């Protein structure tokens, strides 16, 4: 027998991540609440007075990043750092790396909190952070990886438990996703253009975006569930076989499902269909986790009534089950045609985020805090209040959003018998939803108040307790080398004794889907039929496009007309993939709080209309909830980065002629004067308007989706 | 004997359930002659079938629970009175794995009871966490298999030889269908007024409807009192693109894209455009406060016919010339 070794678990790092998680949860949810109220009271955007930093467009990515990467991210690390040490019977590989990991992750979050309101964004959802931050994230991930695999290598357990399988898959997949999504060419300190353009960029984006949900919000939390739920319930895991099958099936299938975010878009049909079928096949593997969690509670259900920890966990796992059934349903084309671009999606993601991630995090925190502080929970009653506020909050959030999504989709699609749109004025479909937005804001407030109660409870628990920074433990030493495998053991035990093989196989499995979908799209020209009349943006339009990105217009306006009668009647010809080949990044969007803008160009509305609309949206569209963009009329147009931008784009493949960067500024100024002249003809006679940002934005909007109209005109 | 009775009950319930659900499905499908009718009808049938099935399963379950409770009561009473069970009741005692249990274990769920948990403990110990060797829930495995088969059929139908339409084919079919429906709906309808046939409406109720349309669509640019704003004043005698009901109707309908006037024909029905044009003309000469300076030429409302003819033959040019 090997000798017994003494060692200590590091609780301090767990506490640090835990505190970061619940503190950031308050910030992330507060920003979410502000956004919810923005939609009811547009004045709250504060932009009428010329402050550009707090508009819906700029704060929306801050909300999503804060919730995903700050709240859930720190929650993941809390769960992993606690469970990994105990499951492997060792302290973390290196305390120093643990703390580098902790602080650099908080720096990433602070940088996000600075860059996003400042308007530095790549506009790729959940990957909005500018390239230097991307580099820092890569560094953090490497540090985390070394620390985790170092710990695995020096483990005292011969086999690794299912939770750790999920941690390994999480680590490698997030690494792959982050690196590929960050293929971009910088042109300034915070500015860059994506390697892929148009439809390819869209595919890469939703391969990334969908799997950020899969491998940042789901797999690590399944791992956490597999540790904390049996612990809290003191019951054995229901089925080891189920763990095995659903783990491998989940990580293999999940990665294929990204294109379901692009149904009925310009993405080729075959990729869309793959997205649909793999989403449907995902139901069972996803539910495997829910089943194994809920069935583990067999024999402990009586305790679920009393123990707030289990209560939170049960609702979390149920919410997971609901969201992972709804997701595949939303991936069916006929349902997606209704749900997509509406608030239905918003409801769906919040069932996941508030229910699954939110409740599981607090379940774990309520279990962890008393243990690390060697005391009992300060107030069970308070935890119950938190539970009910949270549950009601989810209901009051999700139900009006489902209602809103359905309502809006039906209004978009309704025709009179004579063939005109009943709600031809898009605005009518927005103002209709405002009461529902108000109920949603109430739901958000309930959830937020619940969280405040929860955080207070945790602080009081800490105050009455006595923190155990280093927890003594002992375990027999492990012989170096892979675990022995005897015949007759279940086959999967073999790989459980070989974590590096597990890493290797996971990497292979999660690569397949991405390779099959992305490689043909990126390298086969036939996948994106060229359209001769589609030309690169002029320097001024390009500048306007970057302003559009800076302001986060994509948060509310799509640029993708789907092949539906209701959309071509409303907006114009449906989008073709060849139209987007110079779009770096693509700006198709995922939500239409406002109308689609892809066919906005070509003087559908006059320049003066856009001018007035940016100054005060309600002047041209009464009842509009769009924020004012008054600052665009005042801020000087900065063209200094244009040569670098043109150079970067040419490197990536946009056919600007050699030496065009030297003419770019003059070219932009000339076009700006033309816009100013047109504005003057339409009674907008501001002095020096040709030097303001508004002209660039107008030039871009008037260009949108017009290139194929040119072709149509030429044919005549 | 007993089983025959249960079978009979089940058959009756089946027919009741079936007929009830098919009626519901019929009722739901009947008015579905709208554009999405085909799909809605299929979906309604599918839902109806699922509903009927669920109902039958639920009923079967109720019957079984009833049967079980009946046995329990008889058994307990027999025990209390110290009487032997009648033979036919005793024979109803659940045997180890009757047909239903076997089916359930094979296709639905098959957990080892908690009391016998120790038999399937794998003796894994991860920080105190144990793992059981329960088999995969059969319904879960079946669900997985069904989704995989569904996916294969889906891919075949849409991509490898099946006749599934592509997104753009779907669009084309939808547009053709809409065209036919519009033709039917518009035949002889009052909504078919155009710039040649349009007449000024003076009925107060209709003009009031026009005002509502004006307020929600036009007031933003032309002012609440038609005094003008981003767009021109509509109360004076000057018209850039011609006055009179026919010209105003046409300007609203096709718009003046170069100057920011939206073409409303896709948003408003023809009859609505007629109403709002009539409302606008009812406000001639009202002289609202803050009126915008006159633009365009003074329009003399002569006999409407000749003016209409010019607009009809030279649509775009009229506006430009009058400017």
Instruction: Supply the DSSP symbol for A655.
Output: -
A240/B122 touch (CB, cutoff 8 Å), yes or no: yes
Reply yes or no on whether the pLDDT at B121 is more than 80: yes
- CA distances (Å), A131 to each of A73, A115, A136, A184, A194, in order? 19, 11, 9, 8, 10
Reply yes or no on whether the pLDDT at B188 is more than 70: no
How far is B38 from B42, CA to CA, in rounded Å?
6
How far is B7 from B278, CA to CA, in rounded Å?
72
Q: How far is A301 from chain B (nearest CA, A)?
A: 13
From the centroid of its chain, how far is CA A193?
19
Best mutation site among B39, B161, B220, B232 for testing chain A: the one with the most A CBs within 10 Å?
B220
Reply yes or no on whether the pLDDT at B124 is more than 70: yes
Q: How far is A475 from chain B (nearest CA, A)?
A: 10
Is the residue at B31 inside a domain?
yes
B131/A606 touch (CB, cutoff 8 Å), yes or no: no
Tell me the CATH number at B288: 1.10.760.10
Q: At what angle do helices A219-233 and A73-88 cross, to 10 degrees?
A: 60
User: Strand pairing of A184-186 and B238-239?
Assistant: unpaired
How far is A457 from A465, CA to CA, in rounded Å?
12
A-B interface: how many C-beta pairs under 8 angstroms?
174
DSSP-based three-state secondary structure for A9: strand
A424/B268 touch (CB, cutoff 8 Å), yes or no: yes
- Which of B94, B119, B135 corresponds to the end of one domain? B94
pLDDT tens digits for range A392-407: 999 999 999 999 999 9
Closest chain B residue by Cα to residue A496? B124
- Which of B64, B94, B124 corresponds to the end of one domain? B94
How far is A295 from A116, CA to CA, in rounded Å?
43
Which of A159, A239, A276 is opposite residue B132, by nearest beta carbon? A239
A267: Cβ contacts below 8 Å, ≥ 6 apart: A199, A202, A203, A259, A577
- E-strand ranges in A484-625 read none
The pLDDT of residue B183 is 86
A420/B265 touch (CB, cutoff 8 Å), yes or no: yes
Reported as a pLDDT band with limits 50, 70 and 90, residue B3 is low
B167/A272 touch (CB, cutoff 8 Å), yes or no: yes
Closest chain B residue by Cα to residue A679? B259
Which of B220, B266, B267 is opposite residue A619, by nearest beta carbon? B220
The pLDDT of residue B306 is 45
Comparing B17-26, B52-61, B111-120, B279-288, the range with the smallest average pLDDT is B17-26
Q: How far is A235 from chain B (nearest CA, A)?
A: 8
Which of B114, B124, B264 is opposite residue A298, by nearest beta carbon? B114
Which of B122, B259, B266 is opposite residue A424, by nearest beta carbon? B266
The pLDDT of residue A713 is 63
The pLDDT of residue B13 is 66
Q: How far is A649 from chain B (nearest CA, A)?
A: 32
Is the residue at B150 inside a domain?
no
B169: Cβ contacts below 8 Å, ≥ 6 apart: none
Which of B127, B136, B220 is opposite residue A239, by nearest beta carbon? B136
Positive or negative: CA dihedral A603, A608, A614, A617: negative
Residues of B in contact with A241 (CB under 8 A): 133-136
How far is A527 from A200, CA to CA, in rounded Å?
10
> Is residue A558 within 8 Å of A520, Cβ to Cβ?
no
Residues of A in contact with B135 (CB under 8 A): 239, 241
The pLDDT of residue B37 is 56
How far is A511 from A491, CA to CA, in rounded Å?
24
A603/B128 touch (CB, cutoff 8 Å), yes or no: no
Which of B154, B168, B268 is opposite residue A563, by nearest beta carbon? B168
B266/A239 touch (CB, cutoff 8 Å), yes or no: no
Residues of B in contact with A620 (CB under 8 A): 220-221, 230
How far is B83 from B72, CA to CA, in rounded Å?
14
The dihedral formed by the CA atoms of A509, A513, A519 and A522, expressed in degrees to the nearest 10: -140
Best mutation site among A91, A165, A420, A572 for testing chain B: the one with the most B CBs within 10 Å?
A420
Q: Which domain, by its residues, includes B20? A: 2-94
Residues of B in contact with A239 (CB under 8 A): 132-137
Residues of B in contact with A425 (CB under 8 A): 216-217, 267
Q: Which residues pair with A472 in a beta bridge?
A: A8
DSSP-based three-state secondary structure for A185: strand
Give the other-Cβ count within 10 Å of B269's Cβ.
Answer: 23
Q: Is B183 exposed, middle or buried (0-12, 13-18, 19+ CB in 10 A)?
A: exposed
Residues of A in contact with B124 (CB under 8 A): 159, 161, 240
How far is A696 from A688, CA to CA, in rounded Å?
13
A606/B134 touch (CB, cutoff 8 Å), yes or no: no
3-state helix, strand, coil in chain A (%, to 5): 65, 5, 30
Ranges of each domain in chain A: 4-481+490-517, 539-715
Which of A89, A418, A565 is opposite residue B189, by nearest beta carbon? A418
Closest chain A residue by Cα to residue B43? A334
How far is A651 from A631, CA to CA, in rounded Å?
33
DSSP-based three-state secondary structure for A239: strand
Q: CATH fold of A539-715, please? A: Cytochrome Bc1 Complex; Chain D, domain 2 (1.10.760)
List alpha helices for A4-161, DSSP H: 12-38, 56-65, 73-88, 95-118, 131-153
Is the residue at B209 inside a domain?
yes
Closest chain B residue by Cα to residue A422? B267
Closest chain A residue by Cα to residue B269? A420
pLDDT tens digits for range B36-72: 556 667 777 888 888 888 888 888 888 888 888 888 8
- Which of B59, B94, B129 corresponds to the end of one domain? B94
B260/A288 touch (CB, cutoff 8 Å), yes or no: no
CATH of A4-481+490-517, one of 1.20.210.10, 3.40.718.10, 3.40.50.970, 1.20.1730.10: 1.20.210.10
Structure tokens at A54: 């707090």
The pLDDT of residue B83 is 74
How far is A394 from A235, CA to CA, in rounded Å?
28
B260/A89 touch (CB, cutoff 8 Å), yes or no: no
Structure tokens at B294: 């006159």
Best mutation site among B44, B117, B127, B263 for testing chain A: the one with the most A CBs within 10 Å?
B127
How far is B192 from A416, CA to CA, in rounded Å?
13
The pLDDT of residue B206 is 87
pLDDT tens digits for range A326-347: 999 999 999 999 999 999 999 9
Q: How far is B73 from chain A (nearest CA, A)?
A: 27
A269/B230 touch (CB, cutoff 8 Å), yes or no: no
Q: Which residues of chain A have pLDDT under 70?
A: 1, 710-716
Model ipTM value: 0.93
Number of domains making up chain B:
2
A161/B124 touch (CB, cutoff 8 Å), yes or no: yes
Closest chain B residue by Cα to residue A297? B114
Closest chain B residue by Cα to residue A616? B220
Residues of B in contact with A609 (CB under 8 A): 230, 260
A236/B117 touch (CB, cutoff 8 Å), yes or no: yes
């Amino acid at each position: 027998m090997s000798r017994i070794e003494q060692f200590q678990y590091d609780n301090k790092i767990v506490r640090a991540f835990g505190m970061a998680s619940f503190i950031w949860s308050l910030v992330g949810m507060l920003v979410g609440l502000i956004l919810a109220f923005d939609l009811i009271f547009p004045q709250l955007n504060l932009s009428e007075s010329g402050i550009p930093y707090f508009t819906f467009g700029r704060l929306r990515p801050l909300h999503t990043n804060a919730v995903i990467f700050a709240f859930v991210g720190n929650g993941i690390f809390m769960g992993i750092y606690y469970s990994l040490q105990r499951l492997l019977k060792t302290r973390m590989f290196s305390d120093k790396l643990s703390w580098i990991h902790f602080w650099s992750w908080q720096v990433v979050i602070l940088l996000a909190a600075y860059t996003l309101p400042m308007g530095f964004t790549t506009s790729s959802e959940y990957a909005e952070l500018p390239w230097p931050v991307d580099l820092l994230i890569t560094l953090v991930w490497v540090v985390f990886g070394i620390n985790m695999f170092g710990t695995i290598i020096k483990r005292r357990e011969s086999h690794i438990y299912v939770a750790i399988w999920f941690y390994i898959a999480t680590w490698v997949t997030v690494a792959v996703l982050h690196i590929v999504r960050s293929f971009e060419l910088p042109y300034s300190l915070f500015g860059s253009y994506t390697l892929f353009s148009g439809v390819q960029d869209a595919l890469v984006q939703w391969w990334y975006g969908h799997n950020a949900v899969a491998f940042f919000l789901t797999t690590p939390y399944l791992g956490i569930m597999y540790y904390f739920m049996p612990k809290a319930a003191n019951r054995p895991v229901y089925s080891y076989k189920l763990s095995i099958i659903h783990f491998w099936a989940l990580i293999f299938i999940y990665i294929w499902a990204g294109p379901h975010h692009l149904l009925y878009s310009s993405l080729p049909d075959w990729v869309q269909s793959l997205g649909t079928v793999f989403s449907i096949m995902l139901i069972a593997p996803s539910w495997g986790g829910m089943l194994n969690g809920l069935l583990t509670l067999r024999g402990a259900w009586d305790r679920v009534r009393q123990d707030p920890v289990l209560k939170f966990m049960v609702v979390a796992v149920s919410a997971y089950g609901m969201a992972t059934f709804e997701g595949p349903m939303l991936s069916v084309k006929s349902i997606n045609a209704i749900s997509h671009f509406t608030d239905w999606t918003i409801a769906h993601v919040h069932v996941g985020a508030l229910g699954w991630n939110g409740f599981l995090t607090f379940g774990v925190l309520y279990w962890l805090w008393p243990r690390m502080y060697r005391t009992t929970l300060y107030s069970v009653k308070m935890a119950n209040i938190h539970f009910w506020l949270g549950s009601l909050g989810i209901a009051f959030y999700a139900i009006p959003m489902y209602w809103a999504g359905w309502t809006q989709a039906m209004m978009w699609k309704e025709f009179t018998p004579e063939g005109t749109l009943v709600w031809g004025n898009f605005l009518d479909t927005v103002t209709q939803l405002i009461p529902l937005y108000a109920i949603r804001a109430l739901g958000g407030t309930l959830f937020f108040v619940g969280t405040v109660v929860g955080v207070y409870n945790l602080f009081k628990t800490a105050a009455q307790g006595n923190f155990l920074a280093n927890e003594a433990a002992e375990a027999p030493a492990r012989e170096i080398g892979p675990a022995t495998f005897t015949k007759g053991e279940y086959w999967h035990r073999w790989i459980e004794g070989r974590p590096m093989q597990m890493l290797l196989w996971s990497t292979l499995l999660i690569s397949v889907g991405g390779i099959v979908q992305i490689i043909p799209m990126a390298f086969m020209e036939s996948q994106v039929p060229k359209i001769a009349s589609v030309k690169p943006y002029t320097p001024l339009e390009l500048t306007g496009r970057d302003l559009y990105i800076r302001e986060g217009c994509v948060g509310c306006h799509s640029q993708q007309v789907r092949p539906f009668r209701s959309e071509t009647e409303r907006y114009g010809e449906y989008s073709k993939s060849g139209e987007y080949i110079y779009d770096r990044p693509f700006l198709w969007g995922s939500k239409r709080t406002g109308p689609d803008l892809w066919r906005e160009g070509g003087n559908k509305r006059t320049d003066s209309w856009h001018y007035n609309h940016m100054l005060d949206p309600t002047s041209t569209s009464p009842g509009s909830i769009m924020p004012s963009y008054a600052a665009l009329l005042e801020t000087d147009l900065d063209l200094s980065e244009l040569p670098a931008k043109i150079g970067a784009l040419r490197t990536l493949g946009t056919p600007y002629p050699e030496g065009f960067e030297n003419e770019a500024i003059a070219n932009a100024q000339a076009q700006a004067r033309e816009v100013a002249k047109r504005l003057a003809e339409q009674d907008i006679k501001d002095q020096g308007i040709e030097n303001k940002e508004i002209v660039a934005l107008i030039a871009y909007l008037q260009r949108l989706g017009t290139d194929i109209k040119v072709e149509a005109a030429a044919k005549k | 004997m007993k089983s025959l009775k249960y079978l009979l009950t089940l058959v009756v319930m089946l027919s009741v359930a079936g007929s009830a659900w098919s009626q519901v499905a019929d009722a739901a499908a009947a008015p579905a002659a709208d554009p999405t009718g085909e799909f809605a009808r299929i979906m309604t049938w599918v839902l109806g079938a699922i509903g009927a099935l669920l109902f039958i399963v639920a009923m079967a379950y109720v019957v079984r629970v009833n049967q079980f409770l009946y046995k329990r009561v008889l058994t307990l009473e027999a025990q209390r009175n110290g009487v032997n069970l009648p033979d036919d009741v005793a024979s109803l005692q659940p045997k180890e794995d009757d047909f239903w249990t076997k089916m359930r274990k094979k296709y639905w769920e098959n957990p080892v009871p908690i009391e016998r948990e120790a038999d399937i403990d794998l003796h894994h110990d991860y920080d105190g966490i144990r793992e059981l060797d329960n088999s995969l829930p059969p319904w879960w495995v079946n669900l997985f298999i069904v989704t995989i088969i569904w996916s294969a059929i889906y891919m075949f139908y849409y991509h490898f030889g099946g006749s599934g339409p592509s997104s753009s084919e779907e669009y084309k079919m939808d547009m053709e269908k809409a065209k036919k429906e519009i033709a039917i709906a518009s035949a002889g309808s009052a909504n078919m007024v155009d710039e040649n046939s349009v007449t000024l409406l003076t009925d107060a109720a209709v003009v009031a409807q026009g005002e509502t349309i004006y307020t929600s669509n036009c007031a933003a640019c032309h002012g609440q009192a038609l005094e003008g704003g981003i767009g021109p004043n509509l109360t004076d005698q000057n018209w850039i693109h011609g006055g009179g009901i026919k010209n105003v109707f046409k300007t609203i309908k096709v718009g003046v894209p170069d100057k920011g006037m939206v073409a409303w024909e896709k948003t408003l029905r023809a009859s609505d455009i007629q109403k709002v044009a009539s409302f606008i003309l009812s406000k001639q000469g009202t002289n609202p406060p803050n009126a915008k300076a006159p633009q365009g030429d003074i329009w003399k409302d002569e006999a409407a016919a000749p003016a209409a003819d010019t607009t009809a033959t030279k649509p775009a040019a009229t506006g430009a010339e009058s400017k």
